[in-house]
Amino acid sequence: MSMRILLILCFIVFSSYLFSQDVVVGERFEKEKIAIYPFADEVNRYADEGMKIRELVENTVVNMNRFVVVDRENLEVYLKEKELQLAGLTTEDIVEGGELIGYNKAIFGTITRFNTIYEAGSFIYDIPPSVSTSIQIVIKVVDVHTGKILYSSRVEGHSKISLQYRNRYSGARIAVDAAYEDLMGNVKSKLRNIFKITIKIADVQRNGKVVLLAGDDIGMRTGWHFKVYRQGDEIVLSDGNVLKGNLSPVGSIKIISVNENYSIGKISRGLSIQKGDLATETLKGGLFTSIYVNYASYKSDGSRKVFNSRDSAFNYGGKLNIELPKIDYSLGVHFKIGYNASIFTPNFSIGLLFGDYFQTTWGLDMRFNIDMNIPLFYDYIMLNITPYFGVVTTFSKIGYVSGGDYYGSSFDYIRDGSRIYSDNAMIGAGGTVGLTFNITDTFGISGAVGYRFYSPPLNISTYASHYYSFNNEVDIDIGDILDLTGIEYSLSFNFLL
C-alpha cells in the first residue's frame, strides 16, 4: 500500500514538473489586413512606373510577414467599378474600399521624382563615365476605421553605376534596379517603424527569459529589441464610462531565439517584468559611438642633447639643442564608432593626445578595437575586455639653435634662433578591462584600465623653422624622444544610434 502511494506521489510530482516546463498560454500576434494601391506618377516618366513601385512595395510588405495583403485583383475590380483614376484617388475612396473589401489599413502614394543622369567622366584623371538614378516617392498610410492618414513621408532611393565595362543602356537599367532596391530598403524601415510588433508577454521563466507568441511566421528575428510596458489600473467614471490606465515602462527584452510560431527573449532591463505586460518593438540602430577620455603613458625623460656645427670652416659657435620637458602621462580625447554586435563589437577610434597640453608635443592616436561585452547583471552592468592595435603619430617641438648659425655642411645651415621640429610614428598594441553601466537602452558610461606596448619612435621628418638646404632635412640622431608604453586609464560615454 505504501509503495502504491509513493508511486502515485512520484507520478504527480513528475507530471507537474513536466507540464510546467515551457507550457504557455497567451495572446498571439494578429496580422493586420492591408491593401496596397498603385502609385500615381507625377513625373510622367513611364506609364508603368506607378504599377512597378506598387508591385515592389507589395513584395516588401509580403516579405515582412506581419501583414495579410489584400488580393490585387479585388482592388482592381473596385477601382474599375468606381471608375477611379490614380491621380484622383482620395482618402474617402480608400476608406470606402476598406469597408467593402475588408482591410484595416491601406498604402498608397505618388512618384515625385525619377531622374537618370549620365556623367561623362574624365580621361585625364582616369574617371570612367557613370550613370546615376534618383527616385523619390511620397508614401501614405490610411486607417480605414478612423478615416485618417496615419503616416505620410518622402522616401528616396539612389544609385550610381560605372559605365567602364557597360554600355549606356545596360548601365541605366542596372542603375534603376539598384535605386529601386535602395528605395525598398528605406520603405521597409519606414513600415517597420509604423507597424511595430506589439504583443502581450505569454510567460516569464525563472532564468530571466520571456516567451512571445510571435515567431518566424510574422517575420521575427533574433537580435530585435522590445520595450516592455505595464497597463495601469482602469478608471471607472461616475457615468459608467471606463478609462484605460496609462502605460508605464517596466523594462526591455532582446530576442535570442526564434521558432516557427513563438520567440524567446532575454530580459536586458527591468526586474519586475511579468506575464501579461505589453512588449512593443523598438528599432535600434546597428551602430554605436563613444566619446572617451584617457590618461595614458606618454614619457619624455627631459634629457638634453647638444650638437655643435659639423663644418669647421663655417663654425661660428652655433649649437643645436635637443630637449623636451619631462612628461609622464598625457590626457587624450577619442571618438569611437563601430557596429553594435552582441558580444564581439569591432570598431575604429581616432583620438587627440594633448602631450604637455600642446606646448611642445602632441599626437594623433588611431586604433582598431575589438570590444568584448559580457553581461554581469542583465544589461545594466557589463564587463568589457578590449584588445586593440594602434598607430600614434606625434608632432614635437624638440629643440632650438643658439649661439650662432648651425652648419650641418658647407651648404646646409640653420639660422640662429630657429626651432627644431620632429614628426614620429609608433606602432603598438594593448588592451583594457573595465565595466560599463548602461543607464538607458541607448546610453552608458564605462571606466577601464589597461596596458599598452608601443615601438620606439620611427622618425618621419625632422626639420627647422628657418633652414637653408638642398634637401630640407635636419640630419641628426635625436634618439628615442618619446615612449608610449605603459598604463592607460579611460572614461567613456557610449551612445547607441
9 has a pLDDT exceeding 60: no
| 32-194 carries CATH number 3.40.50.10610 | yes
State the pLDDT confidence band at 29, using cuts at 50, 70 and 90.
confident
478 has a pLDDT exceeding 80: no
Highest mean pLDDT range out of 116-130, 243-257, 472-486? 243-257
Check residue 181 and give its pLDDT. Answer: 94
Residue appearing with cell numbers 494578429: 30
424-440 average pLDDT score: 95
Check residue 5 and give its pLDDT. Answer: 54
Q: What is the grid cell recorded at 408? A: 650641418
230-244 average pLDDT score: 75
Q: What is the grid cell recorded at 313? A: 670652416
Sequence-separated (6 or more) residues with CB below 8 Å from residue 438: 269, 379, 380, 381, 382, 444
CA 334 from centre of chain = 17
227-238 average pLDDT score: 82
Check residue 321 and give its pLDDT. Answer: 87
How far apart are the C-alpha atoms of 422 and 444, rounded to whole Å? 39
CB 398 within 8 A of CB 324: yes
Q: Where in the chain is the domain with CATH 3.40.50.10610?
A: 32-194
Check residue 235 and give its pLDDT. Answer: 76
pLDDT digits 0-9 by tens, 298-318: 999 888 888 887 655 555 668
Please count the residues of the chain.
497
Q: Where in the chain is the domain with CATH 2.40.10.410?
A: 197-282
**What CATH number has the domain spanning 287-496?**
2.40.160.20
State the pLDDT confidence band at 19, using cuts at 50, 70 and 90.
very low
390-416 average pLDDT score: 82
pTM here is 0.71
State the pLDDT confidence band at 26, using cuts at 50, 70 and 90.
low
296 has a pLDDT exceeding 70: yes
Check residue 157 and give its pLDDT. Answer: 95
Kindly report the average pLDDT of the chain as a whole number. Answer: 85
CATH H-level superfamily of 197-282: FlgT, C-terminal domain (2.40.10.410)
Check residue 449 and give its pLDDT. Answer: 98
411-427 average pLDDT score: 85
Higher pLDDT, 451 or 20: 451
23 has a pLDDT exceeding 50: no
15 has a pLDDT exceeding 80: no
Higher pLDDT, 319 or 334: 334
pLDDT above 90 as % of the chain = 48
Check residue 3 and give its pLDDT. Answer: 56
Check residue 303 and give its pLDDT. Answer: 81
pLDDT digits 0-9 by tens, 189-227: 999 888 899 999 999 998 889 999 999 999 999 989 999
Q: What is the grid cell recorded at 163? A: 559605365
414-418 average pLDDT score: 83
410-438 average pLDDT score: 88
284-292 average pLDDT score: 85
- How many C-alpha atoms does 4 have within 13 Å on its Cβ side? 1
Q: Where in the chain is the domain with CATH 2.40.160.20?
A: 287-496
If one counts every other C-beta atom within 10 angstroms of the C-beta of residue 73, the result is 8
